[in-house]
Structure 1
Amino acid sequence: MTTTQPAPIVIGYDGSPGSVSALHWAADAADRALAPLRIVEAFEVVIVTRPSPGHVVPLEAVRTARQATLEKLAASIRDEHPGLEVQTSLVGGPAAGTLLDAAQDARLVVLGSRGHGGWSGLLVGSVAVQVTTHAECPVVVIPHDLRRHAQEGPTVVVGVDGSKASANAVDFAFGQADALQAKVVALHAWTSPFLTYADGASMLQFDEDKIREESRLLVAESVAGAAADHPDVEWTTELVTGSAAQALVRRAESADLVVVGSRGRGGFTGLLLGSVSQSVLHHAHCPIAIVR
């Protein structure tokens, strides 16, 4: 009888502090999931058109040294996580494209929000934005200034808006919470539909209690399936008025993981990454999972 090899968790590594934090987060996640860990580093060749003084290191020597560093790193992860299968991959090419190729057979991609060299790109966080925008599997981004906090127990916060991506985010959040023995906070934000006319003489009226009850039901229905699949996971609902992005960023201050869908119900349908997920990605100070 043949057994199917579990899909790996892919970690984008470049030696930067952010990628080191991401590596340890990914190793813990792979250990919990009994999945292989694949450490991927991009090896992008830079061609210099002007003569450069000093000793020139042959390209193959650089490649060999970086591969040796990856193998040493993999050995240290195996020591920390006995029994964990750790793979290494040194790939020639741009960082974002390398990670997206590696993500095709992955269950999860993990990377730091900012790296250096090939991983950082021309703009701060450009690789993280490209990977979260285009990867088909969930992507977890570890902020470069990851903040630790004291609290009673681990918490996973998930944004809920009733969209398909939100439903997938809820499933992912409960799966992570189950593995972490964490509680889930299902957060839904709604905006007051009050509309004041220019002369101030008229205002659109609405029943706030009704809107809140509808929001509560939306969350309950969105969470029901995942909660049934993970009966040991404690979960609560948080309903807030105002910006969903701001509410999630504030909640991230006391969370171990924030999970959002790649796109919600609002905004332009052609966008691959919505404004809420982009805002959380750029401003939250805890690990952020983007789920498509």
Structure 2
Amino acid sequence: MTTQPAPIVVGYDGSTGSQSALRWATAEAVRTMAPLRLVEAFELVITARPSPGHVVPLEAVRTARQTGLDAVAENVRLHHPGLTVETRLEGGPAARALIDAAAEARTVVLGSRGLGGWSGLLVGSVAVQVTTHAQCPVVVIPHDQRPHAHLGPTVLVGVDGSKASAKAIDFAFDQAEAMHAEVVALHAWTSPFLTYADGASMLQFDEAKVREEARLLVAESVAGAAAEHPDVHWTTELTMGGAAQALVRRAESADLVVVGSRGRGGFTGLLLGSVGQTVLHHAHCPIAVVH
């Protein structure tokens, strides 16, 4: 008995952001030979005093939305005949629909902002909620991707030795292999190891030693994924300072940035750590948050 692979779920609402997400998700579904599932949600807005002659039956709204979603799916099938494309129209909040869909998905892909989002926000509330609560990797496509010039495609991944970071590294190498891209494994530290030197009262640290230990941490963290993807070239970048800021700066020349949902030292009650939140709100390339 053949088990069907988990689907690539894409949040779709007709916005420019969701169209970009659909393109990314379609390419991922074709690469992984997984079904593509388009999920659209709608909420019924009831006013206290509806205008006479302007009341549209709920079933008519649902039918119209389903027809539009089916047309989008059919267009994808037309360009990718071998791809299985499914549609789901869900009543209720979009974030809840996508979080529920994530329970059986390989990856969820959505735009950073959908219809009705505040134009001043880089990331809408739906993207924040889904990346925080989804049970699978979530890829967010920013609405304002900035073109950049570099020698070749790059996948940037944050490395800190945590379990979430290990999953992010696996995801990054998998994506890099598909994109024929280089992996840049970035590690940053803000608290160097402090030791007493010759009984002196002033705390000092050996920066060379700290950097070497950081290099070993990255090498050990990446070793497994690198062995499974021998054709993927990867490099290490080490920096002193905040990890979030370092990732955002380096993301300016990356095609995808991958972070774990929570790193070392994060509060266990938080589902999405401060680094993930900062990158999500400030990076201008696709961002993958891996749980």
Q: Same fold (TM over 0.5)?
A: yes
Deviations 1:32-51 (A, max 9, x none): 11111000000211111123
Q: Percent identity?
A: 79
Gapped regions of structure 2 (runs ≥ 5): 195-200
Asked whether the 8 Å contact 1:43–1:94 carries over to 2, the reply is yes
Match of residue 7 from structure 1: 6
Could you tell me how far 1:162 is from its partner in structure 2?
0.2
Asked whether the 8 Å contact 2:117–2:124 carries over to 1, the reply is no
Q: Which amino acid aligns with 1:59?
A: L
> C-alpha separation between the residues in 2 aligned to 1:53 and 1:205?
77
Q: Against the structure 1 CA distance between its residues 159 and 97, is the aligned structure 2 distance closer, same or farther, given a 3 Å change threshold?
A: same
> C-alpha separation between the residues in 2 aligned to 1:8 and 1:218?
34
Deviations 1:243-264 (A, max 9, x none): 1101100111111100000000
Deviates more, 1:184-193 or 1:24-33: 184-193
> C-alpha separation between the residues in 1 aligned to 2:171 and 2:269?
24
Deviations 1:92-125 (A, max 9, x none): 11111100111111000000111124999x9961
> C-alpha separation between the residues in 1 aligned to 2:156 and 2:190?
20
Deviates more, 1:146-155 or 1:36-45: 146-155
Match of residue 28 from structure 2: 29
Asked whether the 8 Å contact 1:94–1:118 carries over to 2, the reply is no
Structure-1-length-normalised TM-score: 0.93
Note the aligned Cα RMSD (angstroms).
2.1
* Runs of 4+ deviating beyond 6 Å: none
- Partner of 1:96, secondary structure, is helix
> C-alpha separation between the residues in 2 aligned to 1:140 and 1:203?
46
Q: Which amino acid aligns with 2:140?
A: V
Does residue 85 (structure 1) correspond to residue 88 (structure 2)? The answer is no
Correspondence 1:17-166 to 2 at 5 A: 17-117=16-116, 125-166=124-165
> C-alpha separation between the residues in 2 aligned to 1:168 and 1:81?
30
Match of residue 207 from structure 2: 208
- Partner of 2:281, secondary structure, is helix
Asked whether the 8 Å contact 2:108–2:137 carries over to 1, the reply is yes
Deviations 1:156-189 (A, max 9, x none): 0000000000000000100111111111000000
Asked whether the 8 Å contact 1:44–1:118 carries over to 2, the reply is no
Could you tell me how far 1:64 is from its partner in structure 2?
0.9
Asked whether the 8 Å contact 1:42–1:119 carries over to 2, the reply is no
> C-alpha separation between the residues in 1 aligned to 2:248 and 2:110?
19
Structure-2-length-normalised TM-score: 0.93
Match of residue 198 from structure 2: none
Q: Which amino acid aligns with 2:268?
A: T
Paired residues in the alignment total 285
> C-alpha separation between the residues in 1 aligned to 2:153 and 2:110?
21
Match of residue 245 from structure 1: 244
> C-alpha separation between the residues in 2 aligned to 1:260 and 1:204?
33
Gapped regions of structure 1 (runs ≥ 5): 196-201
